[in-house]
Amino acid sequence: MAIRQIRLYPDEILRKRSREVEKIDPKIIELLGDMLDTMYEQNGVGLSAVQVGVLKRVVVIDIYDGNPPLKLINPVILKTKGNQECEEGCLSFPNQYAKVNRPEYVTFEALDETGKKITIKAKGLLAQAICHELDHLDGKLFVDIMEPGTLEYVNPNKPKDENN
């Protein structure tokens, strides 16, 4: 697999709507693998294909809970419930974080890399990650829904207590 270049804001591709995958072929399988490698290289929790310059409805997520990473093709949210205020960042906005409101529970379906339809009920961080990545597929960014005045830059070269 390969590490792909992450598109950074304000790259205009981040505002484009991704197209559905019509056929799961070796290129899509390779894309999923490359996206996971890229996400892990950047210590991310999720990555959408548009963030690596591919306008396909493909997402990878790993919330590091001991379960295998999710490789999702054509994901769709079926139901949401509740509300959680979260601090959120994005690999397309390095070292920037803001408060957002996301559903606490999400039920979604997608195809896995074999083409099998899966339905997952998610809560907490996984629900947040699903919503964040699916927003990307529609050209929506976390800064579009952040609580005004909460966007912060955290210098990765400073100890945490010096960033305040």
Residue 110 lies in a domain: yes
Q: What residues make up the domain containing 67?
A: 12-162
pLDDT digit string, tens, across residues 91-143: 999 999 999 999 999 999 999 999 999 999 999 999 999 999 999 999 999 99
Residue 5 lies in a domain: no
pTM of whole model > 0.85?
yes
Q: What is the DSSP string of the chain?
A: --PPPPP-TT-GGGGSPPBPP----HHHHHHHHHHHHHHHHTT-SEEEGGGGT--BSEEEE--SSSSPPEEEEEEEEEEEE--EEEEEEETTEEEEEEEEEE-SEEEEEEE-TTS-EEEEEEEHHHHHHHHHHHHHHTT--HHHHSPTT--EE--TTS-GGG--
Which positions are catalytic? 133
Residue 37 lies in a domain: yes
